Structure 1
Amino acid sequence: MSLSISVIIPVYNAEPFLRKAVESALQFKEVKEVILVEDKSPDNALLICEQLVSEDNRVQLLQHPNNENLGAGESRNLGLKHAKQEYIAFLDADDIYLPNRFEKEKELFKNLDVDGVYNAIGVHYYSEEAKVKFCNTFNHPYNLSENFLTTVNREINPKELFEALVRPKNSEGYFSLDGLTIRKSSLKKLKGGWFNDELRLHQDTEFIARLSFYLDLYTGEITKATALRGVHESNRITNNIDEKERNLFLKHNAIGCWAKSEESMDNDIQHYLINQKLYHETFQNKGFKLISTFIKNSFFSKGYVAKRKFKELLFPIYNKFR
Structure 2
Amino acid sequence: MKISVIIPVYNAENYVTQAVESALQFDEVSEIILVEDKSPDHALEVCQDLEKKHERVKLFQHPDKENHGAGASRNLGIQKATGDFIAFLDADDYYLPNRFDAEKKLFEDQEVDAVYGALGVHYYSEKAKEQYEPLFGNRLTTVYKKHDPKEVFPGLLNMKGSFGLFSIDGLTVRRKRLLEKIQPVFKTHLRLHQDTEFLFRSSYYLNFHSGILDKAIAIRGVHESNRITQVDSNKAKPSITRVMLWREVNTWAESEPTLPENIKTHIKRMYRSWEIANSSPAKKWSMILKYLITDYKSIRSGLYNINFRKNLF
Shorter-chain TM-score range: 0.7 to 0.9
Write out aligned runs for 1:7-156 (5 A).
7-136=5-134, 138=135, 144-145=137-138, 148-156=139-147
Post-superposition CA distance 1:58-101 (Å, at most 9, x none): 10111112211010011000000110010000000000100000
Q: Structure 1 residue 309: deviation in Å?
A: 3.5
Q: Structure 1 residue 110: deviation in Å?
A: 0.4
Aligned to 1:274: 268
1:165 aligns with 2:163: no
Matches of 2:181 and 2:141 in 1, distance apart?
24
Q: Structure 1 residue 135: deviation in Å?
A: 3.6
Aligned to 1:256: 250
Q: What is the percentage of aligned positions where both structures have the same residue?
A: 49
In 2 relative to 1, CA 252–79 (structure 1 residues): closer, same or farther, beyond 3 Å? Answer: same
Is there any run of 5+ residues in structure 2 with no aligned partner, and where? 286-305
SS of the aligned residue for 1:226 comes to strand
In 2 relative to 1, CA 279–202 (structure 1 residues): closer, same or farther, beyond 3 Å? Answer: same
**In 2, are the aligned partners of 1:283 and 1:289 still within 8 Å (CA)?**
no
Is there any run of 5+ residues in structure 1 with no aligned partner, and where? 292-304, 314-322
| Root mean square deviation, CA, Å | 2.0
In 2 relative to 1, CA 289–179 (structure 1 residues): closer, same or farther, beyond 3 Å? Answer: farther
Q: Structure 1 residue 29: deviation in Å?
A: 0.7
Matches of 2:311 and 2:244 in 1, distance apart?
20
Aligned to 1:216: 207
SS of the aligned residue for 1:110 comes to coil
**In 1, are the aligned partners of 2:247 and 2:271 still within 8 Å (CA)?**
yes
SS of the aligned residue for 2:230 comes to helix
Matches of 1:38 and 1:18 in 2, distance apart?
10
**In 1, are the aligned partners of 2:238 and 2:307 still within 8 Å (CA)?**
no
Q: Which amino acid aligns with 1:38?
A: E
Aligned to 2:239: 245
Aligned to 1:207: 198
Write out aligned runs for 1:301-312 (5 A).
308-311=309-312
In 2 relative to 1, CA 115–57 (structure 1 residues): closer, same or farther, beyond 3 Å? Answer: same
Matches of 2:13 and 2:282 in 1, distance apart?
41
Matches of 2:307 and 2:239 in 1, distance apart?
14
**In 2, are the aligned partners of 1:189 and 1:214 still within 8 Å (CA)?**
no
**In 1, are the aligned partners of 2:75 and 2:185 still within 8 Å (CA)?**
yes
Post-superposition CA distance 1:209-251 (Å, at most 9, x none): 1111000010000011101100011111123338851111011
Aligned to 1:182: 173
What TM-score, normalized by structure 2, do the two folds share? Answer: 0.87
Post-superposition CA distance 1:38-70 (Å, at most 9, x none): 000000000000000000111011111221101
**In 2, are the aligned partners of 1:257 and 1:274 still within 8 Å (CA)?**
no
Q: Structure 1 residue 260: deviation in Å?
A: 1.1
In 2 relative to 1, CA 53–310 (structure 1 residues): closer, same or farther, beyond 3 Å? Answer: closer
In 2 relative to 1, CA 72–244 (structure 1 residues): closer, same or farther, beyond 3 Å? Answer: farther
SS of the aligned residue for 1:67 comes to coil
SS of the aligned residue for 2:214 comes to coil
SS of the aligned residue for 1:182 comes to strand
Matches of 1:173 and 1:306 in 2, distance apart?
17
Matches of 2:12 and 2:70 in 1, distance apart?
12
